[in-house]
Amino acid sequence: MSLIVAKFGGTSVASPERIQMVAKRLVAMKEAGNQVVAVVSAMGKTTDELVGLARAISKNPPKREMDRLLSTGEQVSMTLLAMAIEVLGHKSMSFSGRQAGIQTSDEHSKAKIELVHADRIKQALDAGCIPVVAGFQGIDKNGDITTLGRGGSDTTAVAVAYGIGADVCEIYSDVDGVYTADPRVAPRARKLDAISYEDMLELSSAGSGVLQSRAVEFARKYKVVIHSRSAFSESEGTYVKEADSSMENAVISGIAHDTSEVKITIRDVPDSTGIAARVFSALANNSVNVDMIIQNISEDGRTDITFTCPEADLENAEEATKAVIETIGARDYVVDNNIAKVSVVGTGMKSSPGVSAKAFTALADANVNILLISTSPIRLSVVVAADQVELAVRALHTAFGLDSDKVFEETMLSAEELEAKKNKGR
């Protein structure tokens, strides 16, 4: 018998019918002798719809109100799931972030979980219930509802798992685990049985959408074992846990890619002290999450500064860039939407020289043009043209010996599941 936290995302609870499927799955886990706590996201597109309502009223809604508004999404799905469990003859109770004792900082829209007072959840478990907890939300010291930012439900699940001392935090989604690359892009990608927290963290940050990086960070800090698996099949997925001898001894764990960033180049910038500081302070002050930065070699005392940021931040970035160009006396700026970031990730990189050389050679052989480069101790990222992203991922996947003998479509997913993935949009 295990104590399990099972988190289901928005796609898994998008309709009453899907909620009933999730309920069946939870009941089966319980009837197999486990104790189960469910954590849910909002149904399907609910969060987007609520954001739309707020935007119709205010360009810049107060964050306290926005958090309260968005938190209703999970409060709807959790009650419906609890109802569906009761229909199957098992006791259930839903818990909002407040009722589940999720205490957070007071940074609305991006609050951090500080404590989990899991007493009520434990009591419900002891009473034979399947508790259902609202993901994505908590309560601050003023008693106001906070949200953890998009994807925060994964973090809720990990925090609840820590709070109740669960054996495992199962995160169900429409993919059946963590792959060496996105199988839609690299058909020879392999599912990993296990991956270390460190590698998973880099993959998540580099664009692998399977798990939220903050959830992985929380899990690493509190040693919570995550099991990333499919909501639509019974097969084992990927365990995310501390590195141990059972894990594959590969230098590289996987190749991630991210097409959601844009590249901005500020041209003809005077190359003097403090200019970069002024540029990136202006961007930070306008809430732009700058990712990669490069500065060209100076020529006649002028240079170009290039950076990438999420496409969602583009409006803010342009605003800040326009203002700063005037004050520093640069010529102009150019936006490039058609880029993709491809990252090679692996803890083994630290002790294995030559990864960069191998990567650049593979890309050159595939005729992929590198626009930007950035590195960390366990990650190498390059920016390429968007239409070269598949070429780049496949070349790197092959070069680092990650290719499976089997081609993905034939083995891993049904046609229906593939279709569902495509419809998901990313």
Q: How far is the CB of 82 from its own copies (least distance, A)?
A: 5
Q: How far is the CB of 232 from its own copies (least distance, A)?
A: 20
Cβ closest to its own copies, residue 57 vs residue 357: 57
Residues of this chain, 43-102, that bind its own copies according to CB under 8 A? 50, 53-54, 56-58, 61-62, 64-66, 68-69, 71-72, 75-76, 78-80, 82-84, 86-87, 92-94, 96, 99
Q: What single string gives the DSSP state of each residue in 406-423? A: S-HHHHT--HHHHHHHHH
Q: How far is the CB of 305 from its own copies (least distance, A)?
A: 36
Q: How far is the CB of 42 from its own copies (least distance, A)?
A: 11
The two structure tokens encoding residue 343: 């990252």
Candidates 12, 20, 155, 180; binder of its own copies (CB under 8 A) is 20
Residues of this chain, 238-277, that bind its own copies according to CB under 8 A? none
Q: How far is the CB of 181 from its own copies (least distance, A)?
A: 38
Based on its alpha-carbon atoms, the radius of gyration of the chain, rounded to whole angstroms, reads 23
What is the distance between the alpha carbons of residues 83 and 168, in angstroms, rounded to a whole number?
25
b/e code 139-155 from CB counts within 10 Å (16+ = b): bbeeebbbbbeebbbbb
Q: Tell me which DSSP letter residue 103 carries.
A: E
Three-state secondary-structure class, residue 405: coil
- The answer for residues whose C-beta is within 8 angstroms of residue 415's C-beta and 6 or more apart is none
Q: Which stretch binds its own copies (CB under 8 A): 14-22, 212-220, 250-258, 382-390?
A: 14-22
What is the distance between the alpha carbons of residues 232 and 177, in angstroms, rounded to a whole number?
12
Does the CA dihedral 322-328-334-336 come out positive or negative?
negative
Of 160, 111, 116, the C-alpha closest to 137 is 111
Cβ closest to its own copies, residue 122 vs residue 227: 122
| Total number of residues that touch its own copies (CB under 8 A) | 35
Residues of this chain, 113-152, that bind its own copies according to CB under 8 A? 143-144
Beta bridge partners of 385: 339
Q: Pairing relation of β-strands 293-295 and 254-258?
A: unpaired
Cβ closest to its own copies, residue 26 vs residue 168: 26
Q: Tell me which DSSP letter residue 88 carries.
A: T
Cβ closest to its own copies, residue 18 vs residue 257: 18
Q: How far is the CB of 164 from its own copies (least distance, A)?
A: 19
Cβ closest to its own copies, residue 83 vs residue 420: 83
12 touches its own copies (CB under 8 A): no
Q: Where are the alpha helices (DSSP H) in 106-196?
A: 119-126, 152-164
Q: How far is the CB of 72 from its own copies (least distance, A)?
A: 4
**Contacting positions for its own copies (CB under 8 A):** 16, 19-20, 50, 53-54, 56-58, 61-62, 64-66, 68-69, 71-72, 75-76, 78-80, 82-84, 86-87, 92-94, 96, 99, 143-144
